Structure 1
Amino acid sequence: MKKVFLLISSLFAGFGAYAQDSTATSGKFTFSGYMDTYYLANFNNPKSQSNLGLNGSNAGNARAFDQKAGQFGIGLIQAKAMYTADKVDAVMDLTFGTFADLGNYGNNIGLLGTPGSTALAIKQAYIVFKPTSKLSFTAGQFGTHIGYEVIDAPVNFNYSLSNLFNNGPFYHIGLKGQYTFSDRAYLMLGVVNNVDNLVDNNKKKGLIGQFFFSPVSGWNVYLNAIHSNEASADVLNPNNTVAVSADKASYTVFDLATTYQITSKFFLGLNAATGMQKGDFQGGGGPTESKSWGGVAVYTNYSFTDKFGLGLRYETFDNKNGVRALTDAAGNGASVNSITVTGNITAADGHVLLKPEFRLDSYSADKFEKNDGSLSKSQATLGMAAIFKF
């Protein structure tokens, strides 16, 4: 591992030296990153020290990344290099650690078929070509446009991630184009491989889109969508004719994310999404069904000083149809209401963020393990995250 980090450092150092030599004539090089560590206490005191809850015999899906309780954990370590010029940008965004693996789960198996692929370290890797000041094209692996929250801990006000984020998608691999009408409106359209996966599992491609507009100063609105064929490749029967068509499975999400900076201290945000999936949910060549899920999250935070703020997130998420991974302890579809209160403390000239956080998740049925072996519909956690950024 030490050799890997030395190699990465050498590559970035070399790229930085080249960029510094060419900045005056061609572009600008920047290098940034962060790391985070956390501790969470779970009031249910589960013997497994897990915040995930139970889902039959398997782990549940109650938390995206902060999955351990009663112990210290390392979240994510990021090293991001970016080169920007008039006609082209390039981004190499590498991440390491538990959260990096979870966020990049679709890249676990490499092209050689072995687990633990080095592709897990690639959070983003893309090139932006800018033919004009209004038109750009992006190719490679890039973070999803769907949703309100992102994987980067310094960017989100809350440390723990919402159920809307947890149900994805996380990233895409493909090509997208963006046209900027003005500083208050743009349109993005793209073609991508199937969702959260390094390799396309069929010959179909997904379509993505985003329309941004700002009605007034301080108010931003993002209308997002994705439609993708998520079936495995066509299955042939013994007569070499198609028995199960990939056209019978699809994944569609419509998403709204909006923010409003009401005053210099008071902020409001909203994320609402609905998803529809079509496929054989029973397995074994069962009937094709269409099932839906959805959720809404409301965000508000207030900056008391330039070094301390307090934020509240309320979210409701409905997966009673069982189409997504969020289920109760019996493995059935469920709904959940979550309240998260997070403090933001800035220290060390802005390089350190401390985030004390309380979160309460309440499910529609038994979900969480208690210390005596019984189950509970709710779970409360309290902890602190420390983030260093540069």
Structure 2
Amino acid sequence: MKTIINTKYTKNIFLAAFALITLNAFAQEEETKSPISLSGSIDTYFRTTFNEAGVDESSSFTSFANQTGFALGMANIIGSYESGDTGLVVDLVFGPRGTEATFENDVLNGIINQAYAYWNVSEGTTLTIGRWNTFLGYEVIAPAANFNYSVSHLFSNGPFSHMGMKADFTLSDDASLMLAITNPWDTNDITGTGEYAFGAQLGVSGQYLNLYYDSGKEGGLGFEIDYTGGFDLSDEFFFGINAAYNKNSETDSGFYGAAIYPQLTTSDSFAIGLRGEYIAFTQDGFDDTPVLAATLTGSYTNGNLIIKPEVRLDSWGNDVEPFGSLTDPTNSLASFTLAAIYSFD
């Protein structure tokens, strides 16, 4: 039998091995001079849907974890180096989730998730230049940092990362401010159009108001205002909130919606949480199309390993029937996912 080698992924494996060996060697040589840290995670999952849709027709129309059967999420390796008041962070990702998150548009075929340098100018001011994950939304790319394994429609339709400069200011013990100038959304390498984006985040007591603006040209996102926050209602019960409004004046499209994240911790090793989401799309082919999604997730922790069983239901309104087969379409999709995440630091 002839063996076919995928040169792209073979190259990625060699690059990952080289990066890990280099970081470890550098850490051993420099551990007496400057602090170096290495962390990362891997995730994998099994997913099935409860309809007659095929693999290509079973997506929940959100990012990541849409494969049926057994599948990989991603592996990521994060290396950081700090010397005095300056430092750098490099976050490398490998696998389908990482490729989708980076849009596979950087010079290393979608490997670089984050790469930035920073300068702690003063005790309350930090300047950063490079590429970093978005400040918009309740959720993040790395699954170990999310309660739910699958991601929301709100997160999927916003930007994933930004390339540019930002300044973070600590205003008080309970207040912070971030200002950024970046390439437009989905332009994580270079911009040859003269278009730039502007971002801001105001944080007060764990509640964050986020603003983003670009012209909407050349694939830009346009304008988005986003609120992310939550409240500890008790030692065991947390209630998270996310709400967003997006408008692209260039294409006259956008979305608006909100999601809630009630989470109950029942023991040191187990918690259960619900994500309830409403979002409405206004764009070509969708005229204020509402979507309701409910995701119930359990989270069992054993050391560095997290097991997450998850049941999800997505329902599209206005007679839109994106699921099912061509002969038997439906506007709802139920799915079950069992995910495993292992992280280290």
Query: What TM-score, normalized by structure 1, do the two folds share?
Result: 0.80
- Greater displacement, 157-166 / 77-86: 77-86
Q: Which residue of 2 aligns with 1:202?
A: 193
- Is the 1:180–1:186 Cα contact (8 Å) retained in structure 2? yes
SS at match of 2:143: coil
Match of 2:277 in 1: 315
Deviations 1:28-54 (A, max 9, x none): 21111111111111111303453226x
Percent of aligned pairs with the same residue?
Answer: 29
**Conserved 8 A contact 2:323-2:332:** no
- Would you say 1:213 and 2:204 are equivalent positions? yes
The CA distance in 1 between the partners of 2:326 and 2:166, in whole Å, is 52
Q: Structure 2: how far apart are the matches of 1:8 and 1:48? A: 29
Give the alignment partner of residue 138 of structure 2, picking from 137, 144, 148.
Answer: 148
Counterpart in 1 of 2:5? none
Q: Displacement, 1:18? A: 3.4
SS across alignment from 1:13 = helix
Q: Which amino acid aligns with 2:67?
A: K
Structure 1 contact 51–63 (Cα < 8 Å) conserved: no
Q: Which residue of 1 aligns with 2:124?
A: 134
Query: Matches of 2:221 and 2:58 in 1, distance apart?
Result: 31
How do residues 88-127 of structure 1 correspond to structure 2 at under 5 angstroms?
Answer: 88-105=86-103, 107-108=104-105, 117-127=107-117
Q: Which residue type is aligned with residue 385 of structure 1?
A: A
Equivalent residue letter for 1:222: Y
What do the CA deviations read for 1:308-351 (whole angstroms, capped 9, x no partner)?
Answer: 110001000011x216xxx6xxx66521011100000112xx21
Q: For the Cα contact (< 8 Å) 1:250–1:278, is it kept in 2?
A: no
Q: How does 1:322-361 map to 2 (within 5 A)?
A: 322=283, 334-347=289-302, 350-361=303-314
Structure number with larger C-alpha Rg: 1
Partner Cα distance (1:334, 1:386) in 2: 33
Unaligned runs of 5+ in 2: 1-8
Deviation at 1:98, TM superposition (A): 0.8
- Residues 2 and 371 from structure 1, CA distance in 2 versus in 1: closer, same or farther, beyond 3 angstroms? closer
Distance, in Å, in 1 between the alignment partners of 2:94 and 2:138 is 23
Q: Decide which moves more: 14-23 or 151-160.
A: 14-23
For 2:133, the aligned partner's letter is G
Contact in 2 for aligned 1:366/1:375 (Cα 8 Å):
no
Please state if 1:362 is matched with 2:315.
yes
Say if 1:381 and 1:343 are closer, same or farther in 2 by CA, change over 3 A.
Answer: same
Which amino acid in the other structure matches residue 210 of structure 1?
Answer: Q
CA drift of 1:373 comes to: 2.9
1:161 and 2:145 matched: no
Matched, 1:223 2:209: yes
Alpha-carbon RMSD? 2.2
**Count of aligned pairs between the two proteins:** 334
* Matched residue SS, 1:131: strand
Provide the rounded CA distance (Å) in 2 between the counterparts of 1:129 and 1:209: 19
1:171 and 1:384 map into 2 onto residues whose CA distance is: 27
The residue aligned with 2:80 is 82
- SS of 1:118's partner is coil
Name 2:39's counterpart in structure 1: 32
Q: How does 1:199-278 map to 2 (within 5 A)?
A: 199-214=190-205, 220-232=206-218, 251-278=222-249
Provide the residue aligned with 1:43 in structure 2. 50
What secondary structure, in the 3-state scheme, does the structure 1 residue paired with 2:23 have? helix
Distance 1:49-1:204 versus aligned 2 partners, 3 A rule? closer
Query: How many Å apart are 1:168 and its aligned residue?
Result: 1.4
Q: Write the letter of the residue equivalent to 1:370.
A: G
Distance 1:43 1:368, change over 3 A: farther
* Aligned counterpart in structure 1 of residue 22 of structure 2, from 8, 14, 20: 14
- Describe the shift of the 1:90–1:205 C-alpha distance in structure 2 as closer, same or farther (beyond 3 A): same
Say which SS state the counterpart of residue 367 (structure 1) adopts: coil
Please state how far the C-alpha of 1:68 moved relative to its aligned partner: 1.8
2:328 equivalent in structure 1: 374
Equivalent-residue separation in structure 2 for 1:266 and 1:208 (angstroms): 32
Which position in structure 2 is the counterpart of 1:66? 65
Q: Deviations over 1:280-324 (max 9, x none)?
A: x4xxxxxxxx444211000011111111110001000011x216x
